[in-house]
Structure 1
Amino acid sequence: MGSDWTETVEGILTSLTTTVTGEDVAAFARLSGDDYEAHTDPDFMSRSSYGQPIAHGALLVGYMSAAATRAIRAAQARGNRTVPVSLGYDRLRFVAPVFFGDAVTVTYRVKTVDPERRRSLADVIVANQAGETVAVAEHVMKWLHPDAN
């Protein structure tokens, strides 16, 4: 499959929209062990300029990962037979709070493909229901050769 795989990745644009609930944040706190009061204690956060608990940034990264999975499936629908794996997120920033009840949309856009290194680089933007950017990142994906050699 030479570099044909690149054609199945170039220009992919996917998105994911979800509403962040208090139950989601509580489940994430249990799973991750991150029970910091900024995410779990309304009284604690009432003293802050946010006035209420906020979602974990790492939960937003999970939503970014879900959008990346949609990009993988879009490439597969185009005939891609590689085995993609995430190499991580660069330039990751949480630029505004996400509150319980916010609807967030993750937009994932592949901007470059490097055939020699078998990598793609995508811009990831998370915006709330008002269209305000709340998080950004660049995602690096490695597209492994499908043969086990």
Structure 2
Amino acid sequence: MSKVPLKIGDHTTFTKTISESDVYMFVGITGDFNRFHIDEEYMKSTKFEQRIAPGLLSVGFSTAAATALLNDLDMGAVSYGYDKLRFIRPTFIGDTITVQYTVKDIDDENLTAISNVRIYNQHGKLCTSIKHIVKFFEL
């Protein structure tokens, strides 16, 4: 019997529309005042034609999916790290993203689970891909 309280294939989703206030709160907290995120006039002159939400903002939303899967377990769980983070296409203010979080591997010896995290926009296009590692511990 597995010591890790998840099984391969466990999954959840989280959906959120990225608002202008989400972006401004994120850049205010992190100090990431890149003009791609905040300068609407400048971005109109680029191939993107609009402001791009910070990539790490969408990664932050992936924690909501992880929490939904991990919150009610009989063991404690913390994020142990992220691997293979890729920003495949931008997300924009006004995009509705869906985080798909799926457990892909269990390591009972180290009490970890590795999950694939895929973040799609409202058009079903993959925007972000991550492997999330969770470490479990007795409460």
TM class, shorter-length? over 0.9
2:105–2:114 CA contact under 8 A, matched in 1: yes
Distance 1:142 1:18 in 2: 26
Distance 2:58 2:136 in 1: 23
CA deviation digits over 1:79-128, x for unaligned, max 9? x3211010111010111111111100000000111100000000000000
Which structure 1 residue ranges, 4+ long, deviate > 3 Å from structure 2?
Answer: none
Superposition pairs of residues 40-59 of structure 1, within 5 angstroms = 40-59=38-57
Distance 1:129 1:116 in 2: 39
Match of 1:9 among 6, 9, 27: 6
Aligned residues: CA RMSD: 1.2
Q: Name the structure 2 match of 1:132.
A: 125
More helix by share: 1
Identity level (%): 35
Q: Using structure 1 for the length normalisation, give the TM-score.
A: 0.88
Deviation, structure 1 residue 145? 2.4
1:111–1:122 CA contact under 8 A, matched in 2: yes
Supply the AA of the counterpart residue of 1:128.
N
Superposition pairs of residues 101-140 of structure 1, within 5 angstroms = 101-140=94-133
Q: Which has the larger radius of gyration?
A: 1
Q: Unaligned regions of 5+ residues in structure 1, if any?
A: none
Q: Unaligned regions of 5+ residues in structure 2, if any?
A: none
Q: How many residues are paired up?
A: 138
CA deviation digits over 1:16-35, x for unaligned, max 9? 00000111101111111111
Q: Name the structure 2 match of 1:99.
A: 92
Superposition pairs of residues 61-76 of structure 1, within 5 angstroms = 61-73=59-71, 76=72
Distance 1:65 1:48 in 2: 31
Task: Please give the secondary structure, in 2, of the residue aligned with 1:23.
Answer: helix
Q: Using structure 2 for the length normalisation, give the TM-score.
A: 0.94
